[in-house]
């Protein structure tokens, strides 16, 4: 007669790993943490953009005022060196050039400093810093507005707007006119 061998199947309780319930608990906890942290990150990003814009506006406004006092109470861009302004593009280009290069007392521009071109550059780098809300660094210059309370950047399509007669400089992204 043949003998039968019975093999005992035993469960091994020493296996390592996570159960499905443990994994679900971890996923739920990560989801809860994400709903708390992600809004904080987006708020921090908005705060950083606002602080950057505020710093850029302060820097440019300080440069404009220094230019004004060193150039016989004349704001940059109002007088295009050598000619009368042909159009608003010439005025905007003169504005940037007069703030980023050396100038004489009349606003004429030079790439090098000497006894005549002794003022500036007021802003380093050859251009205005970008507006962090629309990533533009160009400027629209209004040479006609005389009301110092006028602050309208709608439709400017540039990073900034400058009122050359009153000296008002602001962001031109449609949302930060009051900074």
The residues near 120 (Cβ < 8 Å, ≥ 6 apart) are 67, 98, 99, 100, 101, 102, 103
Assess whether pLDDT exceeds 90 at residue 121. Answer: yes
User: What's residue 115's pLDDT?
Assistant: 93
- Angle between helix axes 20-70 and 88-100 (nearest 10 degrees) is 90
What are phi and psi for residue 38, nearest 5 degrees? -60, -45
Mean pLDDT, the chain, rounded, equals 83
Instruction: Give 62's pLDDT tier (boundaries 50, 70, 90).
Output: very high
Instruction: Give 84's pLDDT tier (boundaries 50, 70, 90).
Output: low
Assess whether pLDDT exceeds 80 at residue 147. Answer: yes
What would the DSSP string read from start to end of 19-60? -HHHHHHHHHHHHHHHHHHHHHHHHHHHHHHHHHHHHHHHHH
User: What's residue 151's pLDDT?
Assistant: 79
The label of the residue with tokens 């005022």 reads 65
Tokens read off for 18: 């996570």
- Position with higher pLDDT, 35 vs 161: 161
> What is the pTM (predicted TM-score) of this model?
0.72
What are phi and psi for residue 164, nearest 5 degrees? -70, -25
């Amino acid at each position: 007669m043949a003998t039968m061998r019975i093999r005992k199947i035993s469960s091994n309780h020493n296996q390592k790993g996570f159960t499905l319930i443990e994994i679900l608990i971890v996923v739920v906890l990560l989801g809860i943490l994400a709903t708390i942290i992600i809004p904080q990150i987006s708020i921090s990003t908005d705060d950083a953009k606002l602080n950057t814009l505020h710093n850029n506006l302060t820097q440019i406004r300080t440069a404009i005022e220094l230019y004004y006092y060193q150039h016989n109470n004349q704001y940059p861009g109002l007088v295009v060196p050598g000619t009368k302004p042909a159009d608003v593009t010439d005025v905007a280009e003169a504005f940037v050039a007069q703030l980023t290069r050396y100038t004489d007392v009349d606003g004429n521009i030079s790439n090098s400093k000497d006894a005549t071109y002794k003022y500036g550059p007021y802003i380093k780098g050859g251009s205005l810093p970008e507006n962090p809300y629309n990533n533009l660094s160009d400027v629209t210059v209004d040479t006609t507005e005389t009301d110092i309370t006028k602050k309208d950047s709608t439709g400017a399509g540039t990073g900034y707007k400058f009122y050359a007669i009153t000296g008002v400089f602001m962001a031109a992204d449609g949302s930060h006119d009051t900074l």
